[in-house]
Amino acid sequence: MEYILEVENVNKKLDTFSLENIDFKLEPGFIMGLIGRNGSGKTTLINTILGLYQKTTGNVRICGHDLCRDESRAKGELGFVLDENPFLEDFSSLDNARIYSSYYKNFNMDMFTRYCSRFDVDPKRKLKKLSKGTIIKFQLAFALSHDAKLFVMDEPASGLDPVFRRELMEIMYDAILSGDKSILFSTHLTEEIDMVADYVTILHEGKQVITTSKEELFESYRVVKGSEEKIQLLQPSVIGKKVTPYYVEALVKNEESILNKGCQIEIPTIADFMFYFSTDKREEFTYV
Ligand SMILES: Nc1ncnc2c1ncn2[C@@H]1O[C@H](COP(=O)(O)OP(=O)(O)OP(=O)(O)O)[C@@H](O)[C@H]1O
């Protein structure tokens, strides 16, 4: 099968921070959410995939095109929305589109102006006069107008109002319906993962803690609550636990051995995975 995105053993060093051995693939027709705490390396990974940072080692392929050896074809398949605006601030959306459309053989200016009108972006206003959310919408209009196969978005919803945030979810969902496109997006909003992601990658301190389908994630783990003694009975299925003044909560592997031990068993939320997979003291976290 031809993957839309292949990230193979990617390492990237930035002063004191390192991305270490990031390795995953994304099939056509799917959305992957990238989550992790502040500073976990989401933007660094996204910038590396977009070729904005030189990677140290490893390979990135987009629709089979190697980002180093076949850069223009690889980048031609990419649409991006970045937290930090990469376009020219002193130019309008329309002028930016005229300038950068030359990099994309399938750029459709009519489509771009239609998206600008749908998203309420004044195409003639300089970017520096637009709000953060409107710049995100402009980037989105541009990314949607050149038949990109891979959309890479760094916290696209962060500057958006709740109404457009919901529309963005619908746009993302529509974008992959044809089955030949995929999306990788980072977010701190766990409801976005709940709503649209098929796959989830969790980063912690530059390391890839887990990449799996959301279905598998919810199938494979449970949150249990009970006394310290009862939770102790669930070892070695315990991934991590936190001690509250009233009970102990733990993320455990969903195995038969966790049943009938007198613990309350719940399906985890994305926030639970974030907590247990991106805490240093995964073994134990105590509320004081
Ligand atoms: N250009 C740079 N030079 C040196 N260090 C950097 C640079 N850019 C980022 N870093 C460091 O790399 C680490 C990862 O940052 P990154 O922005 O990738 O994290 P993030 O997961 O996107 O964070 P956030 O959720 O806060 O946006 C941080 O410790 C940051 O200080």
**Among the three residues 213, 233, 267, which one is the final residue of a domain in this structure?**
213
Question: Which residue has a Cα nearest atom 4 of ligand 1?
Answer: 14
Q: 112 φ, ψ to 5°? A: -60, -50
Q: Is 257 or 33 the better-scoring residue by pLDDT?
A: 33
**Over 50: is that where the pLDDT of 288 sits?**
no
> Can you tell me which atom of ligand 1 is nearest the CA of 16?
5
Among residues 179, 213, 247, the one where a domain terminates is: 213
181 with 64, same domain: the answer is: yes
| Ligand 1 close to Cβ of residue 54 (< 6 A) | no
* 147 and 13, same domain (yes or no): yes
Query: How many other β-carbons are positioned within 10 Å of the β-carbon of residue 16?
Result: 5
Q: What percent of the chain has pLDDT over 70?
A: 96
Is the same domain home to 233 and 174?
A: no
- Structure confidence at residue 40 (pLDDT): 95
Nearest CA to ligand 1 atom 17: 43
ipTM rounded to 2 decimals? 0.97
Per-residue model confidence (pLDDT) at position 282:
44
Same domain, 193 and 243: no
- Interval between CA 90 and ligand 1 midpoint (Å): 27
The reply to whether 125 and 149 lie within a common domain is yes
What number does the ligand 1 atom closest to the CA of 186 have?
22
Q: What is the CATH number of the domain that holds 66?
A: 3.40.50.300
User: Both 35 and 163 in a single domain?
Assistant: yes
Distance, CA 17 to ligand 1 centroid (Å)?
8
- The pLDDT score that the predictor gives to residue 86 is 93
pLDDT average, residue stretch 110-127 = 96
Nearest-atom number in ligand 1 for the CA of 47 is: 18
Question: 278 CA distance to ligand 1 centroid (A)?
Answer: 16
Q: Provide the pairing of β-strand 221-226 with 248-253.
A: antiparallel
Helices in 1-88 by DSSP H: which ranges? Answer: 42-49, 71-76
79 and 102: one domain? Answer: yes
Cβ 36 under 6 angstroms from ligand 1:
yes
Whether residues 95 and 121 share a domain: the answer is yes
Select from 10, 17, 49 the residue to mutate for testing ligand 1; criterion: most ligand atoms less than 8 Å from CB.
Answer: 17
Answer whether residue 101 shows pLDDT above 90: yes
Cβ of 206 less than 6 Å from ligand 1: no
Residue 280 pLDDT grade (very low, low, confident, very high; cuts 50, 70, 90): low
Nearest CA to ligand 1 atom 11: 17
Query: CA separation (Å) from 193 to 19, 52, 197, 274?
Result: 22, 25, 5, 11
Beta strand 57-62 pairing with 5-14 = antiparallel
For residue 283, name the pLDDT band (cuts at 50, 70, 90).
Answer: very low
Query: Residue 7 and residue 59: Cα distance in Å, rounded?
Result: 6
pLDDT band, residue 202 (cuts 50/70/90)? very high
- Quote the pLDDT of residue 203: 96
User: Residues 97, 178: one domain?
Assistant: yes
Say yes or no: 92 and 208 in one domain. yes
Domain boundary among 213, 237, 262: 213
pLDDT in tens, 150-201: 999 999 998 899 999 999 999 999 999 999 999 999 999 888 999 999 999 9
Split into its structural domains, the chain has a count of 2
174 and 225: one domain?
no
Distance 288 CA to ligand 1 centre (A): 30
Residues 25 and 145 in one domain: yes
Q: Residues with Cβ < 8 Å from 167, sequence gap 6 or more? A: none
Domain of residue 276 covers: 217-286
